[in-house]
Amino acid sequence: MSIGLSAVATRLPQRVEPVDDFLVRQGLSPRERRMFDRVYSLRETRVLEDDESFEELLLDAGAEALRGERADLVLYGHTLLSQPMAYGTGFAGRVRRRLGTPGAPVFGVSQVACTSVLHSIDLAARYLTRTDGPERRVLVLGGDQGSVSDGPRFIPGVTVAGDGAAAVVVRRGHGRYALLASARDKDTRFHQNLRLDEDSGRLYGAATAEGAVRVVRAAVARAGLSLEDIDWVLPHHNNAMFWRSFSSMTGFPRSRIVLDLLPRYGHTFGIDGLLGTAHLDRSGRLRPGERCVLVALGQGAYFSALVIESKGQPC
């Protein structure tokens, strides 16, 4: 059974916060801050103003992705365990009303860090292969408001995150993209996340690089392809240095790893790959028949990859 994905809808706040301003608040030295700019290519993030609503950002993306169609199921993938709209009641009901999906179950997908959104797409595809009805659709929402406080936005020595939302419809049959395969992995040695002891912390960086290579190769193999058959890698936006290492480890050309948005948006939790997909498509660089691997990495350590093929048709 073929599974298709719609065009990706994205929403980002208008307010720009320089990464350097954030790092000054964290007490980093000028030398440490230069590393984020010159080596990591992390220069700006987007954050919501006090009077802006992340829920509205998320549901606007969902409405654009649906284009007036109804979803049979809504999955919301998020990295942070609690979002601002979870502080009150009735979020699922507001989702159904805003998106015109009465009766559709609404589930959150979390506890797998920044792999939650790609994991939600994988879950949607599994749901569709196990249910009846040719017109069934799953709306996948993704994103986080990290700017609720500074703590969740910062992984020392690695990245700075901002706010953003994205949405995509997963359906049977044809779409803007064909979902060819997916893969997930984890390394349980690092389950303590940011509370790792010193010895484990030293191992974590290399293990994450190896995990990214491993999950990409697994997804590509499940699609019946090799890495040489892939046109673009749409990466997790941790930092540019990590993906230079990925290129060296795999031989995949740096010019085909899409990091255009990294200096402008920083890391946007689980939606980096979807932002890259939308950017590549809308800029006219993604041609019909080209194949992409979306990659997500999660503290903990979790790894996820999806292989898609552009069909070049609106859906």
What is the structure's pLDDT at 87?
Answer: 74
Strand partners, 172: 3
Which pairs count as long-range contacts for 91-98, CB under 8 Å and 24+ apart, including other chains? 91/55, 94/55, 94/59, 95/59, 95/62, 98/59, 98/62, 98/63
Helix (DSSP H) and strand (DSSP E) numbers for the chain: 9, 14
What is the structure's pLDDT at 13?
Answer: 96
If phi > 0 it is left, if psi is from -120 to 50 it is alpha, else beta; for residue 3 that is beta
Q: How far is CA 43 from the centre of its chain?
A: 19
In whole angstroms, what is the distance from residue 215 CA to residue 183 CA? 6
Q: From the CB of residue 102, how many other CB atoms can be counted at a distance below 10 Å? A: 9
Dihedral angle of Cα 143, 33, 259, 241, to the nearest 10 degrees: -110
List per-residue pLDDT tens for the chain, 315 residues long. Answer: 799 999 999 999 999 999 999 999 999 999 999 999 999 999 999 999 988 999 999 999 999 999 999 999 999 999 998 888 877 789 999 999 999 999 999 999 999 999 999 999 999 999 999 887 667 899 999 999 999 889 889 999 999 999 999 999 999 988 999 999 999 999 877 666 666 566 666 677 788 999 999 999 999 999 999 999 999 999 999 999 999 999 999 999 999 999 999 999 999 999 999 999 999 999 999 999 999 999 999 988 899 999 999 997 644
What is the structure's pLDDT at 199?
Answer: 63
| CB 184 within 8 Å of CB 303 | yes
Q: Buried b vs exposed e over 238-264: b needs ≥16 C-beta within 10 Å?
A: bbbebbebbeeebebeeeebbbebbbe
Q: From the CB of residue 30, how many other CB atoms can be counted at a distance below 10 Å? A: 9
What is the structure's pLDDT at 308?
Answer: 98
In whole angstroms, what is the distance from residue 54 CA to residue 85 CA? 8
What is the structure's pLDDT at 189?
Answer: 78
Domains and CATH numbers, the chain: 3-172 (3.40.47.10), 177-310 (3.40.47.10)
pTM: 0.94
Q: What is the SS3 assignment for 15? A: coil
